[in-house]
Amino acid sequence: MNQLAFVFGLLGNVVSFMVFLAPIPTFYQIFKKKSTEGFQSVPYAVGLFSAMLWIYYAFLKPETTLLITINSVGCVIQSAYICFYLFFATKNARIQTVKLILLLNVVGFGLIIVLTHFWANDSNRDDVVGWICLVFSLCVFVAPLGVVRQVIRTKSVEYMPFLLSFFLTLSAVMWFFYGLLRKDYNIAIPNVLGFMFGVIQMVLYVMYKNPKKVVQEKKQKLPEIETQIIVIDENKLPELKEQIIDVMKLGGASVGIIPLVPVNVDNHILGVGKAIRCPV
């Protein structure tokens, strides 16, 4: 049983490492745009906080080397993402991100260490920290759902990375079986909801990945239609003028044409004249 748990833990390390690398395309877009507009720093700040908590929990439990290794890597990668985000963020976004990090990763994590160290007994300290890890693990899975509202409102998945949702779902499966086989329900329980949240994100991606292309195609066709209308109107103006003159002659009237006056209409110079009906 322990060997099987080790296998799932090792697979969990591999998949979780892919989870940490999944936002790379997102940050590549930020690098190309030189802006973080539309992207949020919350998932990375919460991810860093969760990794720090799991390291603390792992030091309180025996035989948790796999938890220490992957979460140590996670701390390094998440910190790199946050620094990259701060470099390209606007002033307001930068201030909000710094406030979040100070509140969550410095004050929050510090309070948890102090309170559990002085108020919790040695026998149940790991259980208390485990429950805290459980709650904030849910936050890691829920954090990417912050863009779900934007996806539904705009019907666009531009700011919801599919790879992150996919690898989070796969990681949740691996760590669920790891926790279940070790009978560590602080690890197993949050990954059940993590799997559900990941599936929801992937379903939304499938639903809204195509409408954006349709809208863009319609916008691209508008200038062509306007050009065709203008060309048709300009080509038919001389024919329409000749037809009017012929109809006036057939009606038994002589027509005098006042010289054409140029008029600017929609950036096109048109000739405008008045037909005066004279008695026979």
* First and final C-alpha spacing in the chain: 114
Residue 45: closest CA among 12, 23, 70: 23
Q: How far apart are CA 21 and CA 200, in angstroms?
A: 21
Better pLDDT: 14 or 137: 14
Q: What is the pLDDT of residue 139?
A: 67
What percent of the chain has pLDDT above 90?
26
Using a 10 angstrom Cβ sphere, with 0-12 exposed, 13-18 middle and 19 or more buried, the burial of residue 148 is middle
Q: What is the pLDDT of residue 260?
A: 43
pLDDT tens for 203-231 read: 888 888 775 454 454 455 545 544 444 44
Confidence of residue 53 (pLDDT cuts 50, 70, 90): very high
Q: What is the pLDDT of residue 235?
A: 52
pLDDT of residue 107 exceeding 50: yes
Domain range annotation of the chain: 3-208
Q: Is pLDDT of 90 > 80?
A: yes
pLDDT at residue 196, as a whole number: 84
| pLDDT of 261 | 45
Distance from the Cα of residue 165 to its chain's centroid: 11
Please identify which residue in the block is written with the tokens 């002589």: 254
Confidence of residue 67 (pLDDT cuts 50, 70, 90): very high
Burial class (CB in 10 A: 0-12, 13-18, 19+), 255: middle
pTM, full prediction: 0.66
Q: What burial class does residue 120 get, using C-beta atoms within 10 Å of its C-beta: 0-12 exposed, 13-18 middle, 19+ buried?
A: middle
pLDDT, position 243: 52
144 pLDDT higher than 70: no
User: Average per-residue pLDDT in the chain?
Assistant: 76
